[in-house]
A and B are shown apart, each in its own frame.
Chain A
């Protein structure tokens, strides 16, 4: 039985001693195969041609650039993510700040409390007892103590040609008279109701 390729290779490479293969002494075929293997292996001493000395530095630079290009999108994606979250947070703060500022500078229109229809059976919506509404009392107290000049300096302005502007243009005596007339009108309304 001839030597296997594995055994022949081990013998050719020298990793197995010839004495371990007594078959060789009796087999010309195996001896010839072993000689051929050794002969081919002897031709394999060909070195790879050495590139120019400059090549290695250029090569390292190319790899460095390729690696940097590889990492750049990941970095930019991650920073873009951070930026978008930061932007969203900043925008939220700005929106809240604007909303608060608008609330402070432009008080929402005061609407009278809806009449308690259920409490006035058969009554007209327009004839609800508005004077008794506590929110009107609060408004009256606040308006009575309002310093219009201070309000104007604080930036609370009024659009031209509005009732607010007309009231603003009244002198103290005229405002007092206006208050008296309004109270009388509200009292009359209450009596009529």
Chain B
């Protein structure tokens, strides 16, 4: 699971703590401890949210909501899974709730995006951006469970077992959802959904 460790934090002693100690420090009210958790996991959580909703504004709001819920429920984290998996579980629930209430709005590729264009020609960059946008738009039209299973499997490198635990289903159901998600995705991309 990806962690966002490349951002300097304020308390060097906290940065060196393992997950369990960091959670304990948070629960003990140690200043800055939750900041370290946020800094470690904000990028993958943001990416998860972005893949669900397809735009920066909603992804940013949802990511904030994920961490706020995590802070509220930190006492419930028993360490049975990794902190990242636990945050993903919160993230998926937050995203699925939002997706139910509000259809995703995909943004144009040049909005709010910092593109590293040093290794690609402008033409390649545009083509890649357009293709990515089409894929995101197609994913946004998948049924909720299929979308969640596909995103966690294809983009966040979670095992079928981890996805099953996150979504509260079986491994067989997760595989079936990924399979049907891929089939539906092919149809959507062929039909030129955008």
Residues of chain B with a CB closer than 8 A to A44's CB: 135, 154-155, 185
The answer to whether A43 touches B135 (Cβ under 8 A) is yes
Q: Contact: B136 with A46, CB < 8 Å?
A: yes
Q: Give the shortest distance, in Å, between B61 (CB) and chain A (any CB).
A: 9
Bound together, the chains give a CA A185 to CA B4 distance in angstroms of 104
Is there a chain B Cβ closer than 8 Å to A188's Cβ? no
Would you call B68 and A5 a contact (CB within 8 A)? no
Select which of A51, A53, A56, A57 is within 8 A of B56 by beta carbon.
A51
Known contacts: A49-B113, A59-B64, A66-B64. The answer to whether A9 contacts B42 by CB under 8 A is no
Q: Which residues of A contact B186 (CB under 8 A)?
A: 36, 39-40
A49 nearest CB neighbor, chain B only: B113
B182 near A40 (CB under 8 angstroms)? yes
Within 8 A of B (CB), among A100-122: none
Is the Cβ of A63 less than 8 Å from the Cβ of B64?
yes
Contact indicator A52/B112 (Cβ below 8 Å): yes
B183 near A36 with CB under 8 A, answer yes
**Chain B interfacial residues counted at CB < 8 A:** 45
**Smallest beta-carbon distance B185→chain A, Å:** 5
- Minimum CB–CB distance from B159 to chain A (whole Å) comes to 10
**Stretch in B12-20, B82-90, B172-180 with 4+ CB within 8 Å of A:** B172-180
Residues of A within 8 A of B178 (CB): 9
Indicate if the CB atoms of A70 and B68 lie closer than 8 Å.
Answer: yes
Given A6-B179, A59-B60, does the pair A51, B68 have CB atoms closer than 8 Å? Answer: no
Q: Which of A71-103 contact B (CB under 8 A)?
A: none
In the bound complex, residues from chain B placing their C-beta under 8 Å from that of A10 are: 175
10 closest Cβ pairs, A-B complex: A46-B132, A49-B113, A5-B179, A6-B175, A48-B47, A48-B50, A46-B135, A40-B186, A40-B182, A63-B67
